[in-house]
Structure 1
Amino acid sequence: MMAPMPDMRSDPEDRRQMLRMRTACLVEGGTLILLLFVAVPLKHFAGFPDAVKAMGPIHGFAFLTYLWMLIRMVSAGGWSQGETIKLFAAALLPFGAFFSARTLTRRAALASTR
């Protein structure tokens, strides 16, 4: 059972912010997967180091954008420390973004029904 949500503004902007955050989350997770499972093997097994040189900065930018958006969203209120840590930790794990995206989708749906 899901715990009740803390006080959270219920305007449509909250929902839009969570959906933007979900998009950033999926982009960050996708670039991490491409970096780890495509670019790094290309570098080590195919002798193509340019793949990591190209994908590394793209993922770095996506990761920093995700962190910036996470800080903005959490500072707006309504997120527990545990949820914040989970959203951050998931960004460090391959495929973790998909779990975060599900959380953000649920919260956006709840925000739209308030």
Structure 2
Amino acid sequence: MDLKTASSLHRLRLVSAPEAVSFLLLLVCSVLKRTTEFNAVPVMGAIHGVLFVVYVLFWLDAWNRTRWSIGTAALYFLLSVLPLGGFYAERKLKAEAENAVIASRARAESAVKA
């Protein structure tokens, strides 16, 4: 894996958890709006909207660089619209990045030995 691909996965991973938190907070604010006088939906909606757009942009970049299959790309997009999906995406992306580093090191070692 080259540096740009690793960077794109890292960026996607970094934005996935805050996007999930903002989604959960937006859901809480929606309930509070209906049950109390408290209305933070416009503010949380804007924050979540920006984070979601950033997630989608980073997702597109990661998909382009990693050459994910349609199924893998769809899974990461689906995780962005599920309330707790961003946390799961972050864990999967972390594992994928670690596996890529291990594979890259193994290729480098085998090239040195050859």
For Structure 1 versus Structure 2, the TM-score category normalised by the shorter chain is 0.7 to 0.9
Where do 1:24-103 residues align within 5 Å?
24-37=15-28, 39-49=29-39, 51-103=40-92
Q: Find the residue that maps to 2:11 and give its secondary structure.
A: helix
2:2 equivalent in structure 1: 11
Distance in 2 between residues matched to 1:101 and 1:77, nearest whole Å: 16
Structure 1 spans left out of the alignment, 5+ residues = 1-9
Higher relative contact order (CA 8 A, sep 6+): 1
Q: Which has the higher helix share?
A: 2
Query: Contact (CA 8 Å) 1:28, 1:63: kept in 2 or not?
Result: yes
State the TM-score, normalizing by the size of structure 1. 0.83
The share of aligned pairs that are identical, in percent, is 30
The equivalent residue for 1:7 is none
The residue type paired with residue 29 of structure 1 is A
Q: Indicate if the aligned counterparts of 1:12 and 1:112 stay in contact, CA closer than 8 A.
A: no
Secondary structure at the aligned position of 2:60 is classed as helix
> Which letter maps to 1:68?
L
TM-score normalized with structure 2 length: 0.83
How much has 1:77 moved relative to structure 2?
3.1
Output one character per residue of 1:88-112: Cα deviation in whole Å (capped at 9) or x when no partner. Answer: 0111111011111111001110121
Larger-gyration structure (1/2): 2
Count of aligned positions: 103
SS class of match (1:110):
helix
**Whole-angstrom CA distance in 1 between matches of 2:66 and 2:45:** 32
